Amino acid sequence: MSTNTSFGGNSTLQASEKLHNLQSANREELQTIIQVLAKITSLPAEAVKLHLDAMLEQLVKTKERPFYETATTEEWIQALHEWSASHKKNTPTLSDYAVSRAGIYEDEDI
C-alpha cells in the first residue's frame, strides 16, 4: 500500500475535479447567483462569474486537509519507511571528527 505524502499534485487534481462536479451539478443555481450578484453590483455577469469561480475554488480547497492533519500513527510510520527507503543506500557516512564538537566549531572563535 503506497501512501501519498505529496503536497500538491494529486490533491490539486482532486480539487479541480470536485469544483467541476460542483459546477456541473449546480449549473442553474450558479447562473441564478451570478445574475443576482450582477444586478446587485452592477458588474457584468462575466466579471461576477470569474469572482464566483475563484471563491468556489477556494472553498473546495479548504475542505481538503493535509496528510499531517489526517494521518494515523500507522500511516505516519508507513510514510516514514517509504521516505527513508527512497534514499540512496550507498551514501558515505561522516567521520567521527566531522561530527565531533571540534569538527563542528573548528572555524569559530569561542
CB 49 within 8 A of CB 27: no
Confidence category of residue 7, pLDDT binned at 50, 70, 90: very low
Q: What angle do CA 82, 73, 79 make, to 5 degrees?
A: 10
User: Residue 59: what pLDDT?
Assistant: 83
Instruction: Using the predicted structure, report yes or no on whether residue 1 has a pLDDT greater than 50.
Output: no
Question: What pTM was computed for the model?
Answer: 0.45
In angstroms, the CA 53 to CA 59 distance is 10
Q: At residue 88, does pLDDT exceed 60?
A: yes
How confident is the model at residue 17, as a pLDDT? 84
